[in-house]
Homo-oligomer: A and B are copies of this chain.
Amino acid sequence: MASGFETEDDGDDRGLLSDRIRNALTDEIATGTMAAGAALDEQQLADRFGASRTPVREALRQLAAGGLVELRARRGGVVARMTPERIMEMFETVAEIEAVCVRLATYRMTPLERSHLIELHDLSQPIVEAGDFDAYDSFNRQFHEAIYHATHNGFLAEQAIAVRNRLNAFRRTQLRQGERLRRSRDEHEAIMQAIAEGDGEMASRRMRAHMLNAATSLSRFIETNKPGGV
């Protein structure tokens, strides 16, 4: 994680109650179970989770820090309203940060890291053939995180992951269009090419385009089935 909380991953069962509540609420917000703008009553949530207000409060604060909810002093919190504009802003930000990462990574990655990345990329071929969206999603995360890591800048990597996660929370149903999968891999291919040539600037531009393509694809999806709210 990017934030200074250290708990075992998302293992839902045991662990800190406040963390379990946070994870549960994160899911509910991400999946849209809790609509944007919905009021968050501490006591009510506490009852629902069979806990007291204390861990609920902590969970809400952490969510606020992550941007998922907004807390107004002495007036409680609401699920953060995500306008399409804001989501696009987040996408652009992720795209730019990714672009920075891949440029630095190109110049700094060790031969071992480059080899690892190539291996990873090759692995995606059969996944695309099979059209396995979940597997590709997992691979995709690995691919991008390998690039973050290869920047040899831990802080930047943390920031990248944090922003990415923050965005992930809002793309409930991912982009599940068969065509996009192949195009995504092709774009990865082009990025890998630039990396191989040691052209960080080129890799950067291609990465930015790659991310913006994904954003466009998603925005089309969002436009298609608008929920209800602002």
Contacts and interface: CB of A to CB of B under 8 A. Distances in A.
Contacts of A16: 73-74
B86 A155 contact: yes
A92 interface: yes
Contacts of A155: 86, 89-90, 92-93
A32 interface: no
A7 to B, nearest CB: 5
Given A6-B73, A58-B58, A92-B156, 14 more contacts: A3-B64, A4-B66, A5-B64, A5-B65, A6-B70, A6-B71, A16-B73, A16-B74, A61-B62, A86-B155, A92-B155, A96-B100, A96-B104, A96-B156
22 contacts: A3-B64, A4-B63, A4-B64, A4-B65, A4-B68, A4-B69, A4-B70, A4-B80, A5-B71, A6-B72, A6-B73, A15-B73, A58-B58, A86-B154, A89-B153, A89-B154, A89-B155, A96-B100, A96-B104, A96-B156, A97-B97, A159-B163
